Amino acid sequence: MNPRRKNRLFLAVAVLIGMAITISLVLYALRSNIDLFYTPGEIVYGKGEEKLKPEAGQRLRIGGMVLPGSVQRDPDSLKVNFKVYDARAAIDVHYEGILPDLFREGQSVVAQGIFEENNVIDAKEVLAKHDENYMPPEVKDAMSSNHQRPAESYKAEQAAQGSVK
pLDDT of 88-147, one tens digit each?
889 999 999 999 888 888 888 999 999 998 889 999 999 987 655 555 676 667 666 655
* Identity at 10, one-letter amino acid code: F
Our measurement of the distance from residue 134's CA atom to the centroid of its chain's CA atoms, rounded to an integer in Å, reads: 19
Q: How many CB atoms lie within 10 A of CB 3?
A: 7
Statement: 36-164 belongs to CATH 3.30.499.10: no
pLDDT of 42-77, one tens digit each?
888 888 788 888 888 888 999 888 999 999 999 999
Half-sphere exposure of 6 (CA within 13 A, CB side): 3
Q: What is the mean pLDDT of residues 27-39?
A: 78
**What pLDDT is recorded for position 161?**
57
Our measurement of the distance from residue 137's CA atom to the centroid of its chain's CA atoms, rounded to an integer in Å, reads: 15
Give this prediction's pTM.
Answer: 0.65
Q: How confident is the model at residue 14 (pLDDT cuts 50, 70, 90)?
A: very high
Cα–Cα dist 32/124, whole Å: 16
The structural domains of the chain, with segments of one domain joined by +, span 1-33, 36-164
* DSSP per position, 37-53: EE-HHHHHH-BTTTTB-
65 close to 107: Cβ distance less than 8 angstroms? yes
Give the closest residue to 36 by CA, choosing from 127, 144, 141, 114.
Answer: 114
